[in-house]
Amino acid sequence: MDDARMEVVMGLIMHGGNAKGQAFQAIQFAKEGKFDEAEGALKLANEELKAAHDVQTDMLTKEAQGEHTEVDLYMVHGQDHLMNAITFRDMAIELIELMKRVQKLEG
């Protein structure tokens, strides 16, 4: 694998992993009732997802321009990290909203 492809794959993995980690941190803050901190962690997760999405969009743009991207296990792994991070972030948002409702009802 050449350096350019490795950079793309590592961008997907790194930003996806960072996003998932921030979403997990957001859930932990919410469990402690620290909803402002949870929202901050979700904001950071979204920034990481945008960075990963930018890497993916660049790759898709090149594909549309006729520059074929070889799909191998590394690329699949990188895409898997990104999709899992998106799903995890979405679930974190829902969990945090539920925790806010529970706190309000218990309050």
Q: What is the pLDDT of residue 64?
A: 93
What pLDDT was estimated at residue 12? 94
Residues 61, 64: Cα–Cα separation, whole Å: 5
Q: Which residues of the chain have pLDDT under 70?
A: none
Annotated binding site for Mg(2+): 80
Task: Cite the active site residues.
Answer: 77
Taken in order of first residue, the domains within the chain and their CATH numbers are: 3-106 (1.20.58.80)
Q: What is the pLDDT of residue 20?
A: 97
User: In sequence order, what DSSP letters do the residues of the chain get, joined into one string?
Assistant: --HHHHHHHHHHHHHHHHHHHHHHHHHHHHHTT-HHHHHHHHHHHHHHHHHHHHHHHHHHHHHHTT-PPPP-HHHHHHHHHHHHHHHHHHHHHHHHHHHHHHHHHH-
59 CB contacts (<8 Å, ≥6 apart)? 8, 69
Residue 102: the pLDDT is: 95
Q: pTM here?
A: 0.91
Model pLDDT, residue 53 = 93
